[in-house]
Structure 1
Amino acid sequence: MKTVSRFIVALMGLGVVLTACDQREFDMPPLNEPVYSDTATLTIAAFKAKYAGVAVTQISDDDVISGIVVANDISGNFYKELTIMDSTGGLKVAINQGDLYTQFRLGQQVFIECKDLYVGKYGGYMQLGGPYNTGIGQMTWEVAQAHVFRDGWPEPDHTLLTPQVVSMNTVAAEANLGKLITLENVFFATGGTEVCAPVATDGSTQTVSKTLSSTDFPGKTLVVRLSSASDFANKTLPAGNGNLTGILSVYNNTYQFTPRDSMDFAFVGFGAGFVSQGSGTKADPYLVGYALSHQSIGKMAWVKGYIVGALNSGVSMDNPLTGNEGIKWTAP
């Protein structure tokens, strides 16, 4: 079922402007750009170095860090967490709240007032969050609202959203933890033969590990983590050779790599369902299907499609399109 707004989204990349039949004027609701008036006191690298040797601890200093959101939970492959980066490194921020992507979109700058938050390592991977038993866990949403602040509108073209290309020979390093990375010339041995992440036998959500291998460095492998809660879980694992983008983490000395969504898979031999969806630029616009399924991102982007019909008279915001009967399939 389509709506007028979705039909318009599909045509935006063609430079077509549609005007609803309803000629009434509506006031634009006020949009207040978030502004943070203070500054960071530590880079992310300095923050991680400061707390590298301590156990899980509640921060007592007035530390303020800032970063750009480079990973969120939009696809479901990450769960209740963000990854932020500055020019010095990346950090996991754990928040007990779903749909974080609606507040913290890719390219959003955030400032975090760290005093009274908790910092520590889970399986050797540092994160900022709250206490969980004697370990580190997620901060509550109420705590996050009092400590994590957006500054300005998201910048989808921010330079930190361009992944750093790292070879499989050198990726497993502490300096790369929390960074947005692209691994080139890699492949899944089981690509094309199984889905990315099936649900558990009892029907519950699970995260599975897949082995990623390198054509440039035979014998070098990396664990890739895929969740059955992701929107690409039932797609066939990509076959063939290609590139994979994601966030590097570690768990009990095993380095792990987590893609953000299906667009992080760029393979020559495509698994079922994995095709290039575009990047949203004018030179590489989104496909219509991807744009429709990601409208909630709120990102300004180019979309490429083909005009296959027009709206019949009488379709308006008060009488929206609810089926194909409202479309005129022939030229006017």
Structure 2
Amino acid sequence: MNNITNFLKTTFLTVGVLSAVSSCVKNDEWETPPIECSNKFPATTISMADFVAQVPSSGYKLITTDQIFDGYIISSDEQGNFYKTISFQDKTSNPTVGLQIEVDKASNFADFPVGSHIRINAKGLRLGVDRGTVKLGSEDPVYAIGRIPQALVGRYVSGVCGGNGLDIQTIVPTQLTSLADAKNPNLINTLVTVPDVQFNIAEIYPNVKKFIDYDAGGQGLDTDRNIEDKLGSSAVIRNSGFFKTGGELLPTGNGNITFVVSRYNSTWQMLIRSISDIKFTGTRVDATPPKGGTAITYSGSFLENFESYSTSPSNLEVYPKYVNDPVLGNRYWQLKTFNSNKYIQLGANSGSGPYVTYFAVPVDFTAANSLKFDVNVGYWNGNALKVYYTTNYTPLGDITQATKTDITSEFTIPQTPVSGYGTLAPAGTYTFPTSLTGNGFILFEYTGNGSGVTTTIQLDNIQVQ
């Protein structure tokens, strides 16, 4: 009987305690505990700017006295794009200097999230320039600036308290005008934002790339992605092979980008913390816009021999009746003359990177029956010309969105000579299918690469009848 009574007493007591605990929690929401801090170090003894000013022009300096200064965290390894490094600057806005500290420790974001107010005592550490960047780290038998062992990080780095826990401030990125402005040694390891930026067209066309590449086994690779701004300057976004969202597709629009400025030797590498640093929601800016297209006329019978165009100034690129549109690279179809004969020409010789340029010819397919043209090649080292028709291209619009039907195989495109130039000759005649009606375009596509196919293509006597 006593056992039963004791059991009931224990049960009622347990229920009462649980009820009391439950009544203290509103809507089952638990507050995130504050990040602990200790104010371990006394007041600062030197500004971060004055500390960094001690860096030698070569080698490193071993700090042998208590040199204590404050900084604010701007990097984050939460998404895997920073690895065993912490970048911080001397102010939350308009910083005068940035610094990188090497630590043999991962998941630093948990202890020091972005905006954390930190205090560093550099006594016992090395200060130096390592591969183009000012760094702070430990003594190391192999490297000039080594990683501070995980167990010793707290000896040198501590959070500054504010309120009930770590003092975390809002970082205001330095607003720049262009990517070229970001390539400033004074901005290394500081947070900046640049407007009107987009990924280079080669990163999103003909296929949209991911933030990082992967090997055959699915392992992420450190990857560079090229960006450009409306002023024509460019930069590289460097992404780690461990970037957690590296498999996401690159955004194809235009907008603001925020990054930590970095440099590897003489190569500038901009580092994002996460894909949320990229806000490309606007319309892309075309660095090499289409030319011509101001006098489009759809006809079912015409001959274009280019004799009506002036050769002065030379290398004409604007043809009002047609559209001349580089999708990759910056080369346009240009007017040339040889033996008093005019034609258009394009090649990738002495170029840099890929080239894709279209010459769009308007056609009334309902009235037209066939297409023919003359073609010549120079210094052939690969096929560079394709021919298409399309019925849904809007003149001066995004030609990459047009539905193209490839009719290249209907023509004979020379594959000689490999040295020098041949002569213009008929490529053949293509009869349009009876189902092809309405207004549209014939597209002559040049595809080459400064380090690959550089074949020169010449076109003349484009005739629809």
> TM-score per shorter chain, which class?
0.5 to 0.7
- How far residue 178 of structure 1 moved from its aligned partner, in angstroms, is 0.8
- How far residue 202 of structure 1 moved from its aligned partner, in angstroms, is 5.3
Partners in 1 of 2:160 and 2:246 — Cα distance?
33
Equivalent in 129, 134, 148 of residue 157 of structure 2: 148
Partners in 2 of 1:186 and 1:103 — Cα distance?
32
Pair 1:200 & 2:209 matched: no
Q: C-alpha deviations, 1:218-242, integer Å up to 9, x for none?
A: 1x11111011211210000111211
Equivalent in 49, 52, 55 of residue 51 of structure 1: 55
Pair 1:222 & 2:235 matched: yes
Amino acid across the alignment from 1:185: D
Q: Secondary structure at the match of 1:169?
A: helix
Q: C-alpha deviations, 1:30-81, integer Å up to 9, x for none?
A: 9655324512222222222111424133221321121111112111001111
- Tell me what 1:6 maps to: none
Amino acid across the alignment from 2:104: N
- How far residue 24 of structure 1 moved from its aligned partner, in angstroms, is 3.6
- Tell me what 2:100 maps to: 92
Partners in 2 of 1:33 and 1:252 — Cα distance?
36
Amino acid across the alignment from 2:185: E
Equivalent in 97, 111, 115 of residue 107 of structure 1: 115
Q: Quick one: structure 1 residues 202 and 45, their matched pair in 2 at CA, closer, same or farther if it must change by over 3 Å?
A: farther
Partners in 1 of 2:74 and 2:33 — Cα distance?
27
Amino acid across the alignment from 1:142: A
Kept in 2, the 8 Å contact 1:40–1:64? The answer is: yes
Q: Which runs of 5+ in 1 are unaligned?
A: 1-21, 271-332
Q: Secondary structure at the match of 1:181?
A: strand
Matches within 5 A, 1:283-298: none
Question: What is the total number of aligned residue pairs between the two structures?
Answer: 246
Equivalent in 255, 258, 277 of residue 264 of structure 1: 277
Amino acid across the alignment from 1:25: V
Q: C-alpha deviations, 1:156-208, integer Å up to 9, x for none?
A: 5x24x111111223211111111101111111121471100123345544321
Kept in 2, the 8 Å contact 1:56–1:135? The answer is: yes
Partners in 2 of 1:35 and 1:134 — Cα distance?
31
- Tell me what 1:173 maps to: 184
- Tell me what 1:62 maps to: 66
Partners in 1 of 2:187 and 2:80 — Cα distance?
23
Partners in 2 of 1:74 and 1:23 — Cα distance?
38
Partners in 2 of 1:30 and 1:198 — Cα distance?
38
Partners in 1 of 2:264 and 2:71 — Cα distance?
23
Q: Secondary structure at the match of 2:180?
A: coil
Equivalent in 118, 123, 145 of residue 136 of structure 1: 145
Kindly, what percent of the aligned residue pairs are identical? 23
Q: Secondary structure at the match of 1:45?
A: helix
Q: Quick one: structure 1 residues 241 and 118, their matched pair in 2 at CA, closer, same or farther if it must change by over 3 Å?
A: same
Partners in 1 of 2:33 and 2:250 — Cα distance?
44
Q: Secondary structure at the match of 2:73?
A: strand
- Tell me what 1:184 maps to: 195
Kept in 1, the 8 Å contact 2:58–2:129? The answer is: no
- Tell me what 2:428 maps to: none
Q: Quick one: structure 1 residues 45 and 202, their matched pair in 2 at CA, closer, same or farther if it must change by over 3 Å?
A: farther
Equivalent in 143, 157, 162 of residue 172 of structure 2: 162
Kept in 1, the 8 Å contact 2:212–2:220? The answer is: no
- How far residue 131 of structure 1 moved from its aligned partner, in angstroms, is 3.7
- Tell me what 1:281 maps to: none
Q: Secondary structure at the match of 1:23?
A: helix
Q: Secondary structure at the match of 2:82?
A: coil
- Tell me what 1:119 maps to: 127
Residue range with higher mean Cα deviation, 230-239 or 82-91: 82-91
Q: C-alpha deviations, 1:68-105, integer Å up to 9, x for none?
A: 11112111001111111113221111111111111111
Q: Secondary structure at the match of 1:50?
A: coil
Q: Quick one: structure 1 residues 143 and 57, their matched pair in 2 at CA, closer, same or farther if it must change by over 3 Å?
A: farther
Q: TM-score, normalised by structure 2?
A: 0.49
Partners in 2 of 1:117 and 1:54 — Cα distance?
16
> RMSD between aligned alpha carbons?
2.6
Q: Quick one: structure 1 residues 29 and 80, their matched pair in 2 at CA, closer, same or farther if it must change by over 3 Å?
A: closer
Partners in 2 of 1:171 and 1:204 — Cα distance?
31
Amino acid across the alignment from 2:196: N
Equivalent in 1, 14, 21 of residue 25 of structure 1: 21
Q: Quick one: structure 1 residues 99 and 49, their matched pair in 2 at CA, closer, same or farther if it must change by over 3 Å?
A: same
Amino acid across the alignment from 1:50: Q
Q: Secondary structure at the match of 1:144?
A: helix
Q: Which runs of 5+ in 2 are unaligned?
A: 1-17, 25-30, 284-465
Amino acid across the alignment from 1:91: L
Q: Quick one: structure 1 residues 267 and 34, their matched pair in 2 at CA, closer, same or farther if it must change by over 3 Å?
A: same
Kept in 1, the 8 Å contact 2:159–2:167? The answer is: no
- Tell me what 1:297 maps to: none
Amino acid across the alignment from 1:164: T
- Tell me what 1:81 maps to: 85
Q: Secondary structure at the match of 2:53?
A: helix
Structure number having the greater strand percentage: 2
Partners in 2 of 1:37 and 1:80 — Cα distance?
23
Q: Quick one: structure 1 residues 38 and 122, their matched pair in 2 at CA, closer, same or farther if it must change by over 3 Å?
A: same
